[in-house]
Amino acid sequence: MDKIIITYHESFSRRSYLTHGTRLSDFPAVLSEILSDPRFELEFADAIEEKWILKVHTKDHIEGVRRDHLCSTAWYSVGSVVTSADMVMSGKAKRAFALIGAGGHHAGRNYFWGYCCFNDVVIAINYLRECYGVERFAIVDTDAHHGDGTRELVRDDPGVLHCCICSTNYSSKDGTKIDISAFDVLAQARDTPSRNQAYAQIVRQNFVPLIKDFCPQLIFWYFGFDTHQGDYGDLGLTHGAYIEIAKILCKVADEVCNGRLEVVLGGGSRRDLANIVIPPVIKILGNS
């Protein structure tokens, strides 16, 4: 039986996503139905060891995070992402969903902003390379904002395909760093269903062919629900867009990397939306 892991730490429910408060305050209770299915398992994450952070960030960066009381859950957030990655790559789980308390994709080598502290995905990539010899990764970032910290850290890394839906269009010379403007794509979508479909089509039409050609050994989906109607990055989307993207990425993961997909929770501030959008995405990981 293929196992789906959900990684979590209690600090995420007390102090979730920095200044946006306790968006996960109803977790893990809202997952009780999902966790009654033996395919799904909740794993409690430990704080990441500092030696792994230092492979990506400077000592000054770490001290800056340590001084910011709003970053108190950052070590556990990275621990959640790394734990999920380890369980997928070791074969203990087919897919994983990493809940976090502090974001990652706005954290560069020596800076952090935008409710982010440490770059969780890039730290996980370094961990998997050292512990498992894995070299090729794909990151699909559907948070409302550009993953500038991640891009800085992987810009010169040919082993990472970084695909980002944001506010600009860009393609690196080697084709491994791609940005698609959501505003351009959504401009003609007049209602919610068409916006959901148009947004998901960005992943299907633009990113899936790249992933298939690149043949990563693991796919990270940086999933921000800040794009939902009424959240701070509102693009007029609803949960239907996220469910469709989950199906798309599960399918391509099955085709290119034995199903290995890790979903990393990104932006999003509202408690009610977290309760609505996260459980259905987790269900798709087990049903696809």
> What is the tens place of the pLDDT at every residue in 33-68?
999 999 999 999 999 999 999 999 999 999 999 998
The span from the CA of 69 to the CA of 48, in Å, is: 18
pLDDT digits (tens, 9 = 90+) for 170-187: 999 999 999 999 998 899
Q: What integer is the mean pLDDT of 229-252? A: 97
Give the confidence band of 19 by pLDDT, cuts at 50, 70, 90.
very low
Check: CB of residue 114 under 8 Å from CB of residue 150.
no
pLDDT over 70 percentage in the chain = 97
The structural domain count of the chain equals 1
Q: How far is CA 53 from CA 46, 104, 153, in A?
A: 14, 12, 13
Check: CB of residue 183 under 8 Å from CB of residue 86.
no
pLDDT at residue 20 in the model: 54
Neighbours of 183 (CB within 10 A): 11
pLDDT at residue 14 in the model: 80
Check: CB of residue 92 under 8 Å from CB of residue 3.
yes
pLDDT at residue 76 in the model: 96
Check: CB of residue 166 under 8 Å from CB of residue 179.
yes
pLDDT at residue 21 in the model: 65
> Residue written as tokens 């992933």?
211
Is residue 164 pLDDT above 70, yes or no? yes
CATH of the domain at 62: 3.40.800.20
As a whole number, the mean pLDDT across the chain is 95
* Closest of 237, 247, 248 to residue 273, by C-alpha: 237
Q: Who's near 29: CB < 8 A, 6+ residues apart?
A: none
Is residue 284 pLDDT above 60, yes or no? yes
pLDDT digits (tens, 9 = 90+) for 82-141: 999 999 999 999 999 999 999 999 999 999 998 899 999 999 999 999 999 999 999 999
pLDDT over 90 percentage in the chain = 91
Q: What integer is the mean pLDDT of 254-265? A: 98
- Residue-range definition of the domain harbouring residue 90: 4-287
Comparing 3-7, 13-17, 27-31, 117-121, which segment has the lowest mean pLDDT? 13-17
